[in-house]
Amino acid sequence: MPADTSPTPATGATSMSASTPSSPATGSTGTTRSVADQGRADLQGLATEPGVKKKDPIVVATDVRRTFGGLTAVDVEHVEIQRGVITALIGPNGAGKTTFFNLLTGFDQPDSGSWTFNGTSLKGKSAYKVARLGMVRTFQLTKVLSKLTVLENMRMGATGQRGERFWAGALPFLWKSQEQEITARARELLGRFKLDAKESDFAGSLSGGQRKLLEMARALMVGPELVMLDEPMAGVNPALKQSLLGHVKSLREEGMSVLFVEHDMDMVRDISDWVIVMAQGKVIAEGPPRSIMTDQRVIDAYLGAHHDTDISELEHVVTAEHQQPKEETA
């Protein structure tokens, strides 16, 4: 039978156990530094122009174009995502952020262009292969499997499961012990995400915010090197938001790279190390969060016209956009 369920190539410097929060990498000075510190150091002093080269990029995309009929949804000339840091992807609604996510992760095919992950070209790779390589995404409209339990959702995330092969599936002794390891790992993550009390509930019974949490926790089960979160905060209540923020930061401390789409500028400023701004399919600006918010191009993109405006006004606009009712609030 043809299904390819070969185990994942060991991805990531990531150890999923919460007790070992950082994976060391050797810095140029010869001292041991965490991947996150190294990544942040790499970003220092970079030019703040669209398409700027990063010292240690995990993703490099060139000339990626996607049109829908006459509409050019994505037209990215060049963009690089730095390893080990949290990168925010912002831009007004319809800027092409989700489409760009879909293209990078193999859920959609571009008209043209090429992109690499860890130096491997991903062009034409199916979505499941991209995930196995260690580039795992979540969806703007959460995709929890609502008729499976929370714990089953989590177990599904683990790669290289022996019991997922057809012939082995019928023979429990081949996979029972691995299943126990997976379950232990799933429970540990559920605990961190405060979903442990819900483990035997159907995922469909969770609130919108809890679904976002579950989807993120489930993505971590894959063992990603790069986590791509599409509007992780949409429809999440303020209390949960704080804990989600903490989770995203802890991914970075564990050595993962994060790329996330977000409208809430407070959150962007709070946790991101680098911001990429898209508008009308193009990357129009890049830079550290503080300087990007005063960037005239960014303000224009959000306001759609020239305006003498300062950051508080920008935040106002952006937050108002974010407040628009989302389908997620359940």
Partner 1 sequence: MIDAFTGALHDGFGYVAISYCLAAIGLNIQFGYSGLLNFGQAAFLAIGGYIMGAAIATSGIPTIPAMLIAILFAVALALILGVPTLRLRADYLAIVTIAAAEILRLVFGTSFREYFRGKDGVTGFADGFRGLNPLPEYDGFFLTYSRNELWTIIVGWIVVILICVLVWALMRSPWGRVLRGIREDEDAVRSLGKNVYGYKMQALVLGGVIGCIGGFIGAFGAASVQADTFNLDFTFIALTMLILGGAARVLGPVVGAILFWAVLSFLGSILSDLSANPTVAQFMNADQASNVRLMLVGLVLMLLMIYRPQGIFGDRKEIALDAR
Give the residues lining the site for Mg ion (CB under 5 A): 98, 140
CB of 94 to Mg ion, least distance (A): 8
Q: For partner 1, which is the closer residue by CB, 50 or 223?
A: 223
User: Hey, what's the torsion of the CAs at 224, 229, 235, 240, to 10 degrees?
Assistant: 50
Stretch of residues binding ligand ADP (CB under 6 A), selected from 86-94, 121-129, 144-152, 184-192: 86-94
According to the binding rule CB under 6 A, does residue 68 interact with ligand ADP?
A: yes
Which of 25, 73, 81, 245 lies at the binding interface for ligand ADP (CB under 6 A)?
Answer: 73
Q: State the maximum Cα–Cα separation within the chain, in Å, rounded to a whole number.
A: 69
According to the binding rule CB under 6 A, does residue 94 interact with ligand ADP?
A: yes
Give the H or E element holding residue 240.
Answer: helix 238-253
Contact 69, 236 (CB under 8 A): no
Give the H or E element holding residue 259.
Answer: strand 257-261
Which of 95, 216, 221, 293 lies at the binding interface for ligand ADP (CB under 6 A)?
Answer: 95
Closest of 292, 296, 326, 318 to residue 87, by C-alpha: 292
Stretch of residues binding ligand ADP (CB under 6 A), selected from 44-52, 97-105, 171-179, 189-197: 97-105
Contact 85, 252 (CB under 8 A): yes
Q: For ligand ADP, which is the closer residue by CB, 95 or 268?
A: 95
Query: Which partner in partner 1, Mg ion, ligand ADP, none is near 253 (CB below 5 to 8 A by kind)?
Result: none
Q: For ligand ADP, which is the closer residue by CB, 39 or 50?
A: 50
Query: Which partner in Mg ion, ligand ADP, partner 1, none is near 46 (CB below 5 to 8 A by kind)?
Result: none
According to the binding rule CB under 6 A, does residue 191 interact with ligand ADP?
A: no
Say which DSSP state 25 is in: E
Exposed / middle / buried, residue 212 (Cβ in 10 Å: 0-12, 13-18, 19+): buried
Strand, helix or coil at 149?
strand
| Per rule CB under 6 A, count of chain residues that contact ligand ADP | 11
Q: Which residues bind partner 1 (CB under 8 A)?
A: 1-5, 8, 105, 107, 126-129, 131-132, 136-139, 143-148, 152, 155-157, 159, 161-166, 168-172, 175, 179, 202, 218-219, 221-222
Contact 130, 105 (CB under 8 A): yes
Length of the chain: 330
Contact 300, 306 (CB under 8 A): yes
Q: For partner 1, which is the closer residue by CB, 33 or 185?
A: 185
Stretch of residues binding ligand ADP (CB under 6 A), selected from 93-101, 243-251, 300-308, 320-328: 93-101
According to the binding rule CB under 6 A, does residue 128 interact with ligand ADP?
A: no
Q: What type of residue sits at position 155?
A: R
Which of 14, 82, 98, 142 lies at the binding interface for ligand ADP (CB under 6 A)?
Answer: 98
Phi/psi at 285 (5° precision): -160, 155
Strand 226-230 relative to strand 135-137: parallel, antiparallel, unpaired?
Answer: parallel
Residue 119: Cβ within 10 Å count: 8
CB of 52 to Mg ion, least distance (A): 24
The residues that touch ligand ADP, with contacts defined as CB under 6 A, are: 68, 71, 73, 91, 93-99
